[in-house]
Amino acid sequence: MAEEIAVRFRVTGVVQGVAFRYYAQKTAYSLGVSGWIRNLRDGSVEGLAEGSKSGVNAFIEWCKKGPPSAKVEQVITEYVPFSNTEGFEIRR
């Protein structure tokens, strides 16, 4: 079985008002990644991505570009314990 990992992430730049969370959810589902994502008051987004090492790594790579209207400055990641989250939720 593929190694499963969990990564907490924060994305800075122009990442709110550009459908970042929607596209992230769509991308996560396509990669078999579970977790969540939400906007922060400082204009960044944060979340958790869990799944196969290759799926999570591909998701984080997507976050470095984001959707067409985004202007990503930085993606900060931290490995956290795997918690077997189901689905990929957009949190408010």
What positions carry a catalytic annotation? 21, 39
**What is the Cα 75 distance to its own chain's centre?**
10
Buried b (16+ CB within 10 A) or exposed e, 55-88: bbbbbbebbeebbeebebeebeeeeeeeeebeeb
d(CA 54, CA 41): 31
